Structure 1
Amino acid sequence: MKYLLRSLLAFLLLASWSGTAAAQGGRGGGRQARLSQLENARIAYLTEKISLTQDQAQKFWPVYNEFTGKRRDINKRLRLLRINNADGLTDQQIKDNLTQGLALRQNEVSLEKEYFDKFQKVLTIRQVSKLFLAEREFTREVLRRVAGGRPGAGGTLPGAADD
């Protein structure tokens, strides 16, 4: 089972970075396909890393998807506040943007606390801890691959080539 998940994960990651946009002939369609493949790879990666049982998975993924949707919304709002050129803004506008940004970051921390409690109702505390670590590892690996760097032997995600 572990080998199957690792193989699926490796396949999905390779497929997501193999130029699906060119193969599908459309810029938007290819991007959507890559995002979908990346999401599938994330699901497989997290499922393996936190050792979800089928029963846990049925309860966990709806809660996790709700959490990531809310977190994505906060991050989108933060990106909209970023100032690339403050020269065209008044000091008050800059202060307001920074204040809003701090409030949004506080909202993100509050969201994580709220879902920390919700995750504990579905997972063991050890699995919750592994979840937060696995999210960071997955993000780091995706960023490394997008930047052109490749991990060590085999080109798989961290831990995927162990055993």
Structure 2
Amino acid sequence: MKYLLRTALLLGLLAWLPFTSAYAQGGMRRQERLSQLENARIAYLTEQISLTPDQAQKFWPVYNEFTAKRRDLNRRMRLLRPASLDALSDQQIKDNLTQAFTLRQQEITLEKEYFDRFQRVISVRQVGKLFIAERQFTKEVLKRVAGRPGMAVPADGLDD
């Protein structure tokens, strides 16, 4: 069982290595890079939270639903960030900030909802490890991308 998980992790990480160099070189198509990154993320999270095959079968559909909803909220939040505040009126700035607060609250509500749903398929300890592992994986990806020539990590507080 552990052999299968380690093999999946190793294959995921091996798939991830070309992503980091191809990203910097621009040689691979974006979709292929994203697919490799997704495979690496799945392998990493599976290993970090010690999913059994039975748990994985139940967990990944719920997790994928959660991440799709979270991505949508993040996309909507990015749309509220103008390139320049100078082009907006004070009322527009206020409206954008109010909408951003609402979206952030929706993200918290989403996390609470899925915290409960995750506990139906994995243990509370595994759920705790999941949230930590997500941050660790993101940090590692950003660190690798930042280490490539011509690449920079956005300074928007992602390194917490």
Decide: shared fold, TM above 0.5. yes
Q: 1:15 — aligned with what?
A: 18
Q: 1:31 — aligned with what?
A: 30
Q: 2:84 — aligned with what?
A: 85
SS of residue in 2 equivalent to 1:51? coil
Aligned equivalents of 2:13 and 2:45: distance in 1?
13
With the length of structure 2 as denominator, give the TM-score of the two structures. 0.85
* Cα displacement string for residues 30-65 of structure 1 (whole angstroms, at most 9, x for unaligned residues): 110000000000000000000001110010000000
Query: CA 1:6–1:60 in 2, change beyond 3 Å: closer, same or farther?
Result: closer
Task: Tell me the CA shift for residue 70 of structure 1.
Answer: 0.1
Aligned equivalents of 2:123 and 2:91: distance in 1?
47
| Structural mapping, 1:92-103, within 5 Å | 92-103=91-102
Aligned equivalents of 2:71 and 2:48: distance in 1?
22
* Alignment: residue pair count: 143
Aligned equivalents of 2:80 and 2:20: distance in 1?
30
Higher relative contact order (CA 8 A, sep 6+): 2
SS of residue in 1 equivalent to 2:54? helix
Runs of 4 or more, structure 1, over 4 Å off, are none
Aligned equivalents of 2:79 and 2:11: distance in 1?
35
Aligned equivalents of 2:10 and 2:116: distance in 1?
32
SS of residue in 1 equivalent to 2:95? helix
In structure 2, runs of 5+ residues without a counterpart are 149-160
Q: 1:108 — aligned with what?
A: 107
Indicate the RMSD between aligned Cα atoms, in angstroms: 1.4
With the length of structure 1 as denominator, give the TM-score of the two structures. 0.83
Task: Tell me the CA shift for residue 95 of structure 1.
Answer: 0.1
Aligned equivalents of 2:71 and 2:52: distance in 1?
26
| Structural mapping, 1:43-82, within 5 Å | 43-82=42-81
Shifted more, 12-21 versus 38-47: the winner is 12-21
SS of residue in 2 equivalent to 1:130? helix
Aligned equivalents of 1:47 and 1:53: distance in 2?
8
- What percentage of residue pairs aligned between the two structures are identical? 64
Aligned equivalents of 1:3 and 1:73: distance in 2?
32
